């Protein structure tokens, strides 16, 4: 793609950033929608984060995605941060508007849209959810479920104090469950979500007896390497519907792309295959 002098510019800022799938994902959409624009990998060390972010706004960029380790610091650098991003405690999408930096978080949106696309029959209000893990991803997932009307979000984490802190921050519908009791917490679930790194390539498997899980409960994993984690494979083998985690990454990218480039992009099977073929 040859850019014009009016090309719209965006990118992903992280440290490191070489592993990020975002340039490939946004690059696919830029070509698909024939947009005069570019989306660049932006390796920025933590000590240069604020200067780099403001510098890109000054240089006419439309905005950026933030990834590790800049998502939390982004809260303090943006002029405005939307309430959801404050609640999640992280900014993953920044829109530059007349020199002002607007911080958003689209991970909750990405999580819900992935389930809506992959399991249209699922409804957040249908019953309790168990979220495994209490890191940044768990925070976004729990906030998304509460906003979508989930009656109860059970939260279980190896380090109990993190689950308890998250439950306190998010309110009464979030119930911490001891890690040892995680299998008991499967009882009556409408949704089971793994946000831990267990099951990721090179990591141990998630140790969880699925016997108490209702047959109709939806199972999803935010791990997408491998795409079919051992948890998803075991869930499908016993007849549960299951949705893999790649879609969360693809869907969380939509609001940023639309804000920067002016087109609402679609998540298609072709996009999935393209991103996976790296």
Is 8 annotated as catalytic? no
Among 110, 118, 128, 136, which residue interacts with ligand ATR (rule: CB under 6 A)? Answer: 136
Supply the minimum distance, in Å, between the C-beta of residue 239 and ligand ATR. Answer: 26
Q: Which residue has its beta carbon closest to ligand ATR?
A: 135
Show the CA angle centred on residue 220, arms to residues 217 and 222, nearest 5°: 160
- Which CB atom, from 92 or from 240, has the smaller least distance to ligand ATR? 92
Is residue 158 close enough to count as binding ligand ATR by CB under 6 A? yes
Select from 29-37, 39-47, 151-159, 180-188 the region that touches ligand ATR (CB under 6 A): 151-159
Supply the minimum distance, in Å, between the C-beta of residue 209 and ligand ATR. Answer: 15
Residues contacting residue 278 through CB under 8 Å, at least 6 positions apart: 21, 24
Is residue 32 close enough to count as binding ligand ATR by CB under 6 A? no
- Which CB atom, from 13 or from 155, has the smaller least distance to ligand ATR? 155
- Which CB atom, from 90 or from 219, has the smaller least distance to ligand ATR? 90
Site for ligand ATR, residues 203 to 232, rule: CB under 6 A: 204
Q: Provide the binding-site residues for ligand ATR, judged by CB under 6 A.
A: 133-138, 157-159, 162, 195-198, 204
């Amino acid at each position: 793609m040859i850019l014009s002098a009016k090309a719209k510019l965006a990118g992903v800022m992280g440290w490191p950033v070489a592993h990020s799938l975002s340039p490939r994902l946004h690059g696919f959409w830029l070509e698909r929608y024939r947009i005069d624009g570019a989306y660049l990998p932006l390796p920025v060390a933590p000590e240069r984060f604020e200067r780099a972010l403001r510098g890109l706004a000054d240089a006419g960029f439309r905005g950026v995605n933030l990834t590790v380790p800049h998502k939390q610091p982004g809260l303090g650098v943006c002029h405005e941060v939307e309430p959801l991003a404050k609640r999640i405690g992280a900014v993953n999408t920044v829109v530059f508007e007349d020199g002002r930096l607007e911080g958003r978080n689209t991970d909750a949106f990405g999580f819900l849209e992935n389930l809506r696309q992959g399991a249209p029959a699922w409804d957040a209000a249908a019953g309790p959810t168990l979220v495994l893990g209490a890191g940044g991803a768990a925070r976004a997932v729990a906030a998304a479920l509460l906003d979508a009307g989930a009656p109860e979000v059970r939260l279980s984490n190896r380090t109990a104090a993190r689950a308890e802190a998250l439950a306190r921050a998010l309110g009464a519908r979030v119930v911490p469950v001891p890690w040892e009791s995680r299998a008991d917490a499967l009882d009556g679930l409408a949704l089971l979500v793994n946000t831990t790194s267990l099951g990721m390539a090179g990591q141990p498997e998630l140790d969880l007896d699925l016997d108490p899980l209702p047959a109709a409960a939806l199972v999803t994993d935010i791990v997408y390497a491998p795409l079919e984690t051992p948890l998803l494979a075991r869930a499908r083998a016993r007849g549960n519907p299951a949705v893999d985690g790649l879609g969360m990454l693809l869907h969380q990218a939509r609001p940023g792309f639309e804000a920067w480039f002016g087109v609402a992009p679609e998540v298609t099977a072709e996009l999935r295959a393209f991103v996976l073929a790296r």
